[in-house]
Structures are given as structure tokens and as C-alpha cells.
Structure 1
Amino acid sequence: MAVIDAHQHFWNLQTGSYPWLTPEAGPIHRTFEPEELLPQLAAAGVERTVLVQAADTYADTDAMLAQADTYDVVAAVVGWVPLNRPAEAAEALERYRRHPAFAGVRHLIHDDPDPDWVVQDSVIEGLGLLAEAGLPFDVVAVLPRHLEHVPVLAERVPGLRLVIDHLAKPPIRERGWEPWASLIARAAEHPNVHAKLSGLNTAADPGTWTAEDLRPYVEHALEVFGPDRLMFGSDWPVAILAGDYAKVWKETGVLLAGLGEADRAAILGGTAARFYGIEV
């Protein structure tokens, strides 16, 4: 089974627009392109990646698909369509689905001032289009309110496969537990809901975190989802706000060392391959 990084990004500040990416973002307020990531993937033994949108624009999706055309390592692209405008979304999906790498959709719901954006009727209709097309939806859950919506989506859009990015950012830095633990368990009750072990380092203390800081949250995720619904993601280059690719990879290995070979293989590639339709 190929080792797959199920969540990474590229962006170019000269050619794209990323409203959230301001100078206050510090070291990630610059262009990140494939040439910078490739040697880090090779050093970790990661063979394929899932490239995830960083802007709610067609331009960002088009750029990612062009990178998938150029770099074999990019196995799948999670792009964007205007889910709150279903007629337009249907046209965009028809166009994008012609590209073999287009494998899912995400919207930056955590940047929307309305925490209930994703459950408005127009978006539910748009998500229904994804279900019909067999395409999954990446959920960026940052607030507890976002995580509360995951079971609602699972019930209102039958057949829609969902994946919770970054385990919904558990309160690792504060060593908190609730309401995160109960909400993620409730989401996991729905078999179509998956989750990514990604972005956890930036939810921890950026200067001191280790696998042990993340362990209670990852073990809870393993208990409620099981390895067949969990997937590893680096969240590079956001990850460099709290370390680097090598540290994320190393500490993930420490976290998973106690699992059996089949379970590790699922989290490090098998789940992502199945979820995003990646041929390995």
C-alpha cells in the first residue's frame, strides 16, 4: 500500500488570491510550490499526496489541477465549487469531474462569519450534488458549532461521504477535552464520516509539542472511528508554524507505533486511497 499524505497545500501569492493569508500569518505568508515539498516527501517515504484547496475560487482549483497534471506525486485534488449556488455548482462539477485527479470539494466554512453557513438550504442542495456525483466533502471544523453540524449533514444528505479535517482542531494546547470529545464521537456514529489526523501540531504548543501531547486525542479518534476511517495528513505548509514536515512525520510514527501493521497501513494510505479513489 502506498503511503499517502491526505492533506497538503500549495499557493502562489503572485498568481492567486488568498484573503486569509495576511502578513500576520508569519512564515507561511509566502509562495509554496511543489519543488519545495518534493524532497521532504521523499525523505519521509511518502509516495502520493492529496492537494487541498486554500481559497474559495475557481482559480485555486484550476491551479491545483494543473499541478496534478505536472507532478505525479499529486494523486488527488480537493477543489472548490460554489455549493451555495447549486445551479452554478452543477456546471462546475460537470467540468471538473472530467479531470481524473478531481476527487472532492471543500469550502472554507471556518472563514465565513456565519457559523451555520454549511447547513443553509442552498448548501444542502449543493452537497446533494456531491453525493449524486460520488464526491466527498472535506469539513473544516474549527468551532464546536462546525462539528455539531457534521451529524446534521450526514442525516440531511444521505450518501454524502464526509471527512473532518484536522480532527476538528481539538483543544490540545489547553489540554481541554469537552465539548470536542463528545462532538467528534457523535459525528463518528455515522459510518460515512471519516477524519484526518492532520493539523494537530498547530493546535498544540508550537515550540514544545510531541506525540505525547497529541496522544489522548488520537487515541480517542481511534476508538470512535477506527483506523479504516482515519487518514494521515501533514497540513504542510501550515505545519511549519509548529515545526516542519519531518517532525510531523516522525511524531505521527511514534503515535502509531503501537498499532498493528494493517491498522498503520490504513491510516498512512489505505483509508485515503479508498476515500478519494486513488489508484495505488
Structure 2
Amino acid sequence: MSLIIDAHQHVWDLQRAEYAWLGPDAGILNRSIPMGEVLPSFEAAGVTGSVLVQAADNDEDTEYMLEVARRSPQVLGVVGYVPLHQPERAAERLAELQREPLFCGVRNLIHDRSDPHWLLRDDVDATLGLLEDAGVPFDVVGVLPEHLRAVIAISERHPRLRMVLDHLNKPPIGAADSEPWRSLIARAAENPLVFGKVSGLYSAVGDPASWTVDSIRPIFDHAMGVFGPDRLLYGGDWPVSLIAGGYDRVFAGIGELLADLDVGARDSILAGTAADFYSLDLDPLTGPDTAADLQKETP
């Protein structure tokens, strides 16, 4: 059975949590969006499982995702929120979340913070140390060169912390010059515990619906060169992908990018790397024998 794991999916309920970034300017995204809405696209694309990723810096969003995950066999994991800037509260919340079988990582919306150096604060650094000691992966949703520089610094301070760069840290799609992103992400990738998520790349395009595979290919090729397939994860970024032509179009674009790779590399990007990075339990999808085989193939 060929697996496809979408390692970056959102759901939200405006009655359950506050999403500060949603409002009239968010257009078609400014509404409650349940799990069931994406399932036809998952079926059409052959997606067998997904990871829900936080969309708000509050506990309510995380609790809602966990509820959705418990009743959705497609959901293999939940990347939730802990307040990185409040180490004592973060420790308490982390202990609570670690009792949840589907909890698999932590994220904060650092790209919405006015301070681009927020990740390097002493209080945040203390909590990152907690994640490192607990073996909990950290999703870094960076958009600035400063965010990549922070990842490089964090790698030195916390060499055992597993990090993944959501959306490859918003590379300059279509720009004549991809520096400093190109050099900085290569430096970040020198740490074998830093991964890259091939997701949401259209967000760096002025009109998200105007992206093309050709405009994204140089970025993907560079990511392949510095990370390799065993440290790249596919993410569909649904429902944000609705503003980029929809899930089907985004998945088809990923398929074109992967078309020239060998089967092993494709399988890593589409499933194996996500299973490895988030330590996902694949038995619900495959049965124990196939799941064990995939884990053996994943470095």
C-alpha cells in the first residue's frame, strides 16, 4: 500500500477558538472549516493520513484539533500550542499534551510577532530546552531571514531539538535573486535534525493563485540539494491552499515536482519523512507489518 501523509493541514472553528489573523481580509478562509470538507480532495489525491497543525496561539485551538483527531481516522498527529514565552506554564501544558497519544509537536505563530528575534529571547529559549529534553519536535513558521538565523542559533544551543521549517521559510518565489534565503536555509540544513516542509510555497507570490510549477521548481531543487528527500515533508496547507487554486491543484503541482525522482525519494517526501519526524503511528493506516517496513526504510 502506497502511503501519502499530508504533514500540514488545518481545521478551525470560530465558535471554539479565537483566530486573530482571520477577519474580512481573509476572504473565503474567514469561516469555520471542518475536517469533512477536505476529505473528497484527500480521496482524489490518494492521501491516506494527515497531521493537523495549530492555527492560533491558544489552548482552545489545540483542544479542538485533538477532538477532531480522535474522531477522524485520517488524522495521525496534532501539532499544538504551548506558550514558549512562559516556561512554567509551557512545562505544565507540555506535560498535559504528552498524555495525548495523537500529540506530535509544537508550533507558535512566530511570523505574527513584531519582534523577528522573538525565538532568541531567554524565556523562549528555556522552553525550547524543554522541548529538546522531551523529544518533542518544533514547527518553525518563519518568513524572514531573521527567522532562519534564529534557527541556526537554536541549532547550536539545542543540538538535539528536531525542527521543521514550515513552507521552507517563505522563499522568494519568482525573484531574480533568492538570497539571503538560499544561503541561510543551506546553513540551517547543516544540522541533520532540521527538516523542511514543502508546503504553502505560493504564499510568497503576490497573487497566491498565480503560482506555477516552473516558478517553484528552483526553490524545490535547492531544498532537495540541501536537505535531501529524507528531510523533506509534503504539506498541502489546506484550507489556506484554497486561495491558491485549491487542494487538487496544489497536490498536482507537487506531483510534477516529484515526477523525476526515484520511488524511494518520492515515498520519503510523501510519507516516510513525516512518519519519522513526528514519530507517527502508522498502524491505523497500514497494519503493523507495512508500518514497520516503512519505518525501517525511513532513516
TM-score by length of 2: 0.91
Distance in 1, matches of 2:101 and 2:176, equals 42
Counterpart code for 2:251: W
* 2:237 aligned partner: 235
Distance in 2, matches of 1:16 and 1:192, equals 32
| 8 Å Cα contact 1:50-1:74 kept in structure 2 | yes
Q: Tell me the percent identity.
A: 53
Distance in 1, matches of 2:175 and 2:57, equals 31
Q: Kindly report structure 1 stretches of 4+ aligned residues shifted beyond 4 Å.
A: none
Distance in 1, matches of 2:28 and 2:172, equals 23
Distance in 2, matches of 1:95 and 1:240, equals 33
Q: In structure 1, which of residues 195, 206, 218 is the aligned counterpart of residue 208 of structure 2?
A: 206
**TM superposition shift of 1:175:** 4.5
**TM superposition shift of 1:38:** 1.1
**1:75 equivalent in alignment to 2:71:** no
Distance in 2, matches of 1:159 and 1:58, equals 26
5+ residue gaps, structure 2, are 283-299
Q: Equivalent residues in 2 for 1:94-105 (5 A)?
A: 94-105=95-106
Aligned residues: 280
SS at structure 2 position matched to 1:207: helix
* 2:5 aligned partner: 4
Between 167-176 and 120-129, the greater mean CA deviation after superposition: 167-176
SS at structure 1 position matched to 2:209: coil
Q: Deviations over 1:215-252 (max 9, x none)?
A: 00000000000000000001111111111000011010
* 1:133 aligned partner: 134
* 1:271 aligned partner: 273
Distance in 2, matches of 1:209 and 1:112, equals 27
**TM superposition shift of 1:148:** 1.1
Q: Deviations over 1:25-52 (max 9, x none)?
A: 1111111110101111111000000100
**Alpha carbons of 1:20 and 1:208: their partners in 2 closer, same or farther (altered >3 Å)?**
closer
Counterpart code for 1:39: P
Distance in 1, matches of 2:179 and 2:43, equals 38
Between 193-202 and 264-273, the greater mean CA deviation after superposition: 193-202
Counterpart code for 2:270: L
Distance in 2, matches of 1:176 and 1:38, equals 38
Q: Deviations over 1:126-184 (max 9, x none)?
A: 01111111110000111111111111111111210000000111111445411110111
5+ residue gaps, structure 1, are none
TM-score by length of 1: 0.97
**TM superposition shift of 1:16:** 1.4
Q: Cα RMSD over matched residues? A: 1.1
